[in-house]
Structure 1
Amino acid sequence: MNSQPPTTTGLPRPGSAVAAHASHGLQHLPLPLFAAPMGIGGLGLAWREAAHVLGAPGVVGEALLLAAGLAWLLIVGLHLLRMLRHPEAIGGDLRHPVRSAFAGAATIGLMILAGGLLPYARDAAAAIWLVAAGAHVAIAVWTVRGLIRAPREAASLTPPLLIPLVGNILAPVIGAKLGFDVLSWMLFGLGALLWVLLQPLLLGRLITGPALPARLRPTLAILLAPPSVGALALAGLTHGFGTAPLIALGLAVFIALVLLSLLPDLASGPFAMSWWGWTFPSAAFAIALQQAAAAHPVAWQAPLLWAVLVAASAILAVVAGATLRAAAQGHLLRPEG
């Protein structure tokens, strides 16, 4: 029996079984949770773009960007606490062939927050962008270093590997607006070349096997992000949605159609944090379509643009709802199955 009497407030005493369970649960806080502010912020930027292109309510995008900032701060705070209490757990994540890739989602989320802040505090946005871009390059260096020092089997080559390496393509989307043209071109070149090197390896692994585990199949949606973000980066760097951005967008449309054909299979598995892999790519695709439509308008574009934006919003709502249910039921802070 527990020898400690209950407290008058009904709250657990420090060191009680409940408090110990909460601390132990923090050990299993998923690193892929950093994809949440990345997806929320990406959708916020999509709705902000829609306010200009489609006349959508501007408050929707700004509210989503605020929510992304708060989510990013919360998740960073929880992981800092996790680092203090369970440093071995963080170390295990950073050595894991799949989970380690989501460290890059933290810095991508920070780049998106810089974009959200840009209309309100340009200098602060520039400072945040520089920190985020520098940190993301450092994560990319660490990732490539790890691949060279400890070569991986084909089974460990999964789409999340695009996040820390090809994620550099996102930096120019915000950096060009802040006036960092030279640095943005360098970061675009870095991300694009890593994408060209990595994409064939991923496709080879997907085509020849082994097959992705059911919990990782939703991460196939990450393949949509590089061409969508690449189109946006090229449009910002070349000051218009010309030939190069349209080429990248064409590939994004093709990948979107492939993913749409696979949707029943990808959505058939149980909920996992990998579902967040759908959120940012769908939002980036929506933004790219909107910018292309604004530069090359046609009479029938509005219904299509609204359909893609609503679909991206529905994806985020479903994934966020499933995550909140998992958290309420205590499934979020359990060891990975």
Structure 2
Amino acid sequence: MTEPSETISHEGISPMKKRVAYLPITLFSIVMGLAGLAIAWEKSFQESQLAHGISLSIGIFATALFIILLGAYGWKTLRHTHEVRAELHHPMRLNFFPTISVNMLLLSVFWQSIPVLAMTLWSAGMLLQLALTLYVMSSWLNHSHFTIEHVNPGWFIPVVGNIVVPINGIYFGYEELSWFFFSVGLLFWLVLLTIVMHRLLFHDQLAFRLTPTYFILLAPPSIGFISYTGLIGGLDNGARLLYYCALFWAMLLGCNAMRFWRVPFFISSWAFSFPLAALSIATIKMAELSQQPCLTWLARLLVILLSVIVSWLVLRTVQAARQGKICTPE
């Protein structure tokens, strides 16, 4: 699937400013992967000072990158409004706008040790998530150009954001508000799951560059498990259903590992990172609640695998940036 961009006249504009005009909203998915990795390291090796240092370093880097991207995209919004408008009407990129609010919510979880910062990030992320969910879903309902071929796992992103809200919502004491967001996220995950599976099973395969988005299927049940266990304060059969659903998706994706291995690097390859981080954190939580040692080891293996994948993604992203393959017209 190609992602068209409106033509802009850049005569007399510096190369850096030209690149800002083409800054894709999809870059915010990088922060999701890094923030997820930071939280996973913090949760999986809590007794290790080295792990704490690694987690803190990744978290600081993710926060700094988010601030830079937010500033750059804000500049793009002011100077190249028509480009932003084009992304808002694009059937794929539209669904990436909630990555901004999801990043705020994830960074809020990471910075729980600084309550004022965490609360500020959570409040802003929660309000923005609600606004973006309403906007995206209104666009779906009032569309004039979406077809079944436009549907892909990336459409889950607005839903996932709602399910992330309760993680810190419960921590700050907003129980009913947390249940509201969880209910919205869970309901529309199930609705979208039916639509996405219909698209994947009975229509043409996804475009090659969108193949990594299959991993997004992991995110809703994984995050759902984390939020649900926080809401009920323990483990029940509903929580087990969510976790083992996520675990099965991981097995299914693992059976198709060679298919993903053959995909060259795209920015969309960052779709591997956050869902795997969500599963890793969910497995850590499941190990704590079920007291199953095998799940503790599985969680640590997942965190190591996640670290390898994110390291590869960072390396390839830096290479692509040096080669001028990012922030270019398509």
Partner of residue 197 from structure 1, selected from 175, 191, 200: 191
Question: What's the counterpart of residue 120 of structure 2?
Answer: 127
TM-score normalised by the chain length of structure 1? 0.91
| Residue identity opposite 1:24 in structure 2 | K
Q: Give the secondary structure class of the aligned counterpart of 1:57.
A: helix
Partner of residue 143 from structure 2, selected from 129, 133, 150: 150
Question: What's the counterpart of residue 236 of structure 1?
Answer: 230
Q: Give the secondary structure class of the aligned counterpart of 2:329.
A: coil
- Compute the displacement of 1:54 (Å): 7.8
CA distance in 1, matches of 2:294, 2:120: 41
Question: What's the counterpart of residue 320 of structure 2?
Answer: 326
CA distance in 1, matches of 2:120, 2:51: 29
CA distance in 2, matches of 1:271, 1:76: 24
User: How many equivalent residue pairs?
Assistant: 320
Q: Which runs of 5+ in 1 are unaligned?
A: 1-14
Residue 247 of structure 1 pairs with residue 235 of structure 2: no
TM-score normalised by the chain length of structure 2? 0.92
Partner of residue 63 from structure 1, selected from 48, 51, 57: 57
Contact 2:213 2:271 (C-alpha < 8 Å) held by counterparts = yes
Q: Deviations over 1:7-57 (max 9, x none)?
A: xxxxxxxx996x533222221111100001111001111111113378872
**Comparing 219-228 with 20-29, which one deviates more in the overlay?**
20-29
Q: Give the secondary structure class of the aligned counterpart of 1:52.
A: coil
Contact 2:101 2:161 (C-alpha < 8 Å) held by counterparts = no
- Compute the displacement of 1:242 (Å): 2.9
CA distance in 1, matches of 2:30, 2:76: 18
CA distance in 2, matches of 1:270, 1:167: 28
Q: Give the secondary structure class of the aligned counterpart of 2:235.
A: coil
Residue 289 of structure 1 pairs with residue 277 of structure 2: no
Partner of residue 313 from structure 1, selected from 299, 302, 307: 307
Partner of residue 33 from structure 1, selected from 27, 39, 46: 27
CA distance in 1, matches of 2:52, 2:160: 30
Partner of residue 160 from structure 2, selected from 141, 147, 166: 166
Question: What's the counterpart of residue 262 of structure 1?
Answer: 256
Contact 2:26 2:267 (C-alpha < 8 Å) held by counterparts = yes
- Compute the displacement of 1:302 (Å): 4.0
- Compute the displacement of 1:180 (Å): 1.2
**Comparing 53-62 with 43-52, which one deviates more in the overlay?**
53-62
CA distance in 2, matches of 1:299, 1:46: 17
Contact 1:241 1:291 (C-alpha < 8 Å) held by counterparts = no
Q: Give the secondary structure class of the aligned counterpart of 2:291.
A: coil
Contact 1:154 1:210 (C-alpha < 8 Å) held by counterparts = no
Question: What's the counterpart of residue 11 of structure 1?
Answer: none
| Residue identity opposite 2:298 in structure 1 | L
Contact 1:53 1:290 (C-alpha < 8 Å) held by counterparts = no
Change in Cα spacing, 1:158 to 1:300, as seen in structure 2 (3 Å) is closer
Q: Deviations over 1:166-216 (max 9, x none)?
A: 320111112111211110011000100111111100000000012100000
Question: What's the counterpart of residue 298 of structure 1?
Answer: 292
- Compute the displacement of 1:65 (Å): 1.4
Question: What's the counterpart of residue 175 of structure 2?
Answer: 181
Q: What is the percentage of aligned positions where both structures have the same residue?
A: 27
Contact 2:223 2:282 (C-alpha < 8 Å) held by counterparts = yes
Q: Which runs of 5+ in 2 are unaligned?
A: 1-9
Q: Deviations over 1:261-283 (max 9, x none)?
A: 12211231221111111111101
Contact 2:156 2:189 (C-alpha < 8 Å) held by counterparts = yes
Contact 1:173 1:232 (C-alpha < 8 Å) held by counterparts = yes
CA distance in 2, matches of 1:142, 1:97: 13
Q: Give the secondary structure class of the aligned counterpart of 2:256.
A: helix
Change in Cα spacing, 1:78 to 1:253, as seen in structure 2 (3 Å) is same
**Comparing 50-59 with 87-96, which one deviates more in the overlay?**
50-59
CA distance in 2, matches of 1:198, 1:233: 19
